[in-house]
């Protein structure tokens, strides 16, 4: 399982940390506690959302494993 997760290193993924705001990032580091991403894109499809706009392009963020789901971005994005 750990080997499979490590294959995401350096790749751009679609990030879902328990909210509805689409965002993308490059995986910089993975450890048992969580994942470090560099945010590459964030959508404001829901401008009236009550969620804080905490993710900004270029920002380095850590998201704990228990709050995270992510998937690889297709090459034709």
Contact (Cβ atoms closer than 8 angstroms) between residue 12 and residue 73: yes
Spell out the domain ranges in the chain: 1-38
Average pLDDT of the chain to the nearest whole number: 77
- What distance lies between CA 28 and its chain's CA centroid? 10
**From CA 25, how far away is CA 72, in angstroms rounded?**
10
Mean local confidence (pLDDT), 9-32 = 84
57 pLDDT more than 80: yes
- pLDDT, residue 6, reads 75
In whole angstroms, give the CA distance from residue 59 to residue 70.
Answer: 17
Please report the DSSP string for 63-74 in residue order. EEGGG-EEEEPP
- Does position 67 have pLDDT exceeding 70, yes or no? yes
Under DSSP, the state recorded for 49 is: -
Q: What is the pLDDT of residues 26-55, one digit of tens each?
A: 999 998 888 899 999 877 655 555 445 567
């Amino acid at each position: 399982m750990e080997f499979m997760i490590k294959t995401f290193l350096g790749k751009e993924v679609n990030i879902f940390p328990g909210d509805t705001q689409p965002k993308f990032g490059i995986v910089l580091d993975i450890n048992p506690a969580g994942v470090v991403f560099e945010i590459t894109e964030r959508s404001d499809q829901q401008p009236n959302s009550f969620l804080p706009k905490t993710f900004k392009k270029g920002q380095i963020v850590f998201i704990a494993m228990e709050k995270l789901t992510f998937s690889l971005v297709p090459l034709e994005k």
